[in-house]
Structures are given as structure tokens and as C-alpha cells.
Amino acid sequence: MRMCWFITTLSIIAFFLSPAYAYDLNPLQDLCVAVNDSKASVLVNGKICKDPKLAKADDFFASGLNVRGNAVPQLGFAANIVDVNKMPGLNTLGISIVRADLEPQGLTPLHTHPRATELITILEGTIYAGFLAPDAANIFKSRLFSKIMNPGDVFVIPQGLIHFQYNVGHKNATLLASFNSQNPGIVMIPSTIFASDPPILDDVLAKGFRLDKKVINELRKKFS
């Protein structure tokens, strides 16, 4: 009896001390094709599952990744996203992919993906990419990990860390970004800070960035 209690206690401790997995939870069924159903109330990974018997090949298929996506004004990049919203069969599978095209000097600004690690593969052009990791010895500093990459090069960005991609070449560049989440999420750092609704108090931004309030107001105008 005492041995049984010991094994049970050890199992519980191991469960709570085990490292967290940095990807979507494992599914409990083979198929969970996302479907819009206003009458349903049970969500799996934020989506409602279609009856597996009604699943079809098109649920696991998407086309068009061979072309540029929607352009982002002023930044010189376009994104073509294949996630659970475009391919319903991705629901619960913990994976998605994005094609990004950058014009010369095109930039994907500082941003994070709160739910996924990102693996980028350069298909064309020359990309300067990097991420910032907190400095364990000084929370007010960070370490920059960056590379200038060419076709065939691969770079990984750990989950949740601030990162960027910048076209340093003289021609258009294309990369594929793979994520270990069906919905990685994205937080654009500059616009999140300076275009919040309602706005953050001037005092908070001025003191946090050590800038004059006039500069803060100018930044707000640029991101509004």
C-alpha cells in the first residue's frame, strides 16, 4: 500500500515538473476539420470539428503558395498565409506555413509569435534575419542572434522572442516560414505600442523609452 502511494505521488510530481512542450497539444483523434457551425458549442483548439465521416481531401489542401500574398503598405513586404483558416484540416495538427516576399529594403518589423517557434527557409534573395533573447545577467539588455542568409539557408526563431527579417539585397527576396502551431499569432511591436486603443499614457511611454512627449506624439501619428 505504501509503495502504491509512493508511486502515485511520484507520478503526480513528475507531471507537474515535466517541461512544457512548445507546440500545440497532441490531438485525441485523427481528424478535426474546422467548420463554421453557429449551433455548435464545443471547440477544439478554438475551432469546431466537422464530423470525421464528412471530411474530404479538399479540407487538407490549399493552393496559391506560388504567388505573393497581401502587401503591407510602407514596409515593402507581402505575406501569403496557410493556416487553419485557409486549410481547415490543419486544426489540432499544430502546424502552419507562410510565404513572405520582401522588396529591396523591405522589412517585416520587430514582432513576436506568442504560440509558435518559427523556422525560415530562404528561397530567393538575401535576407538579414535575427531575434533578441533576454540577457539572464541583466534584464535591461538583450542578445542579438542574427545571420545574413541566401537561398537554401535556414534559421530558427524560438517561440515568443522578438525578431525581424530585412531584405539587404538588390532584388526581391522570398522565404517560407514554418510554425509549430496552427495559429501562431503575431504581435507587431511598434504598432502595438504606439497605436493602441485607447492609447497608453504619454508619461508611461516617455519614461519607458526615455523620449520627450513630443516625440511620442509624433510616433503615434506615424502608426495611427
Every domain range in the chain assigned CATH 2.60.120.10: 34-38+40-56+64-185
SS3 for 13? helix
Task: Please state the CATH superfamily assignment of the domain spanning residues 34-38+40-56+64-185 in this structure.
Answer: Jelly Rolls (2.60.120.10)
pTM, 2 dp: 0.79
Widest distance between CA atoms in the chain: 73
Query: Which residues are CB-contacts of 8 (< 8 A; sequence separation ≥ 6)?
Result: none
Q: Calculate what percentage of the chain has a pLDDT beyond 70.
A: 82
Asked if residue 20 has pLDDT above 50, the reply is no
pLDDT in tens, 93-126: 889 999 999 999 999 999 999 989 999 999 999 9
The answer to the question of whether 163 is labelled as a binding residue is yes
**pLDDT band (50, 70, 90) for residue 22:** very low
More confident residue, 95 or 31: 95
Query: Which residue is listed with cell 539585397?
Result: 169
Phi, psi of 214 (to 5 degrees): -65, -40
- Grid cell, residue 9, equals 505521488
Distances (CA, A) of 91 to 27, 53, 83, 156, 219: 9, 16, 9, 23, 38
Q: At 38, is the pLDDT very low, low, confident or very high (cuts 50, 70, 90)? A: low
Q: Name the grid cell of 203.
A: 508619461
Whether residue 55 is predicted with pLDDT greater than 80 in this model: the reply is yes
- The distance from CA 111 to its chain's CA centroid, rounded to whole angstroms, is 8
DSSP assignments along 138-178, one per residue: EEEEEEEEEEEE-TT-EEEE-TT--EEEEE-SSS-EEEEEE
pLDDT band with cut points at 50, 70 and 90 for residue 34: confident
Mean pLDDT in residue range 79-92: 92
DSSP state of 47: B
Q: Is the pLDDT of residue 4 over 70?
A: no
Q: What is the pLDDT of residue 14?
A: 46
Measured torsion, CA atoms of residues 54, 48, 32, 177, in degrees rounded to the nearest 10:
120
The average pLDDT across 144-157 equals 98
Question: Residue 196 corresponds to which cell in the numbers above?
Answer: 493602441
Distance (Å, whole) CA 191 – CA 164: 14
Using the predicted structure, report yes or no on whether residue 69 has a pLDDT greater than 90.
Answer: yes
Q: What angle do CA 25, 28, 30 make, to 5 degrees?
A: 110
Was 111 annotated as part of a binding site? yes
> Which is nearest to 68 in space by CA: 181, 172, 180, 155?
172
pLDDT at 6 over 70: no
Is cis: bond before 27, omega within 30 of 0? no
Please tell me which residue, 94 or 129, carries the higher pLDDT value.
129
Residue 138 confidence (pLDDT): 93
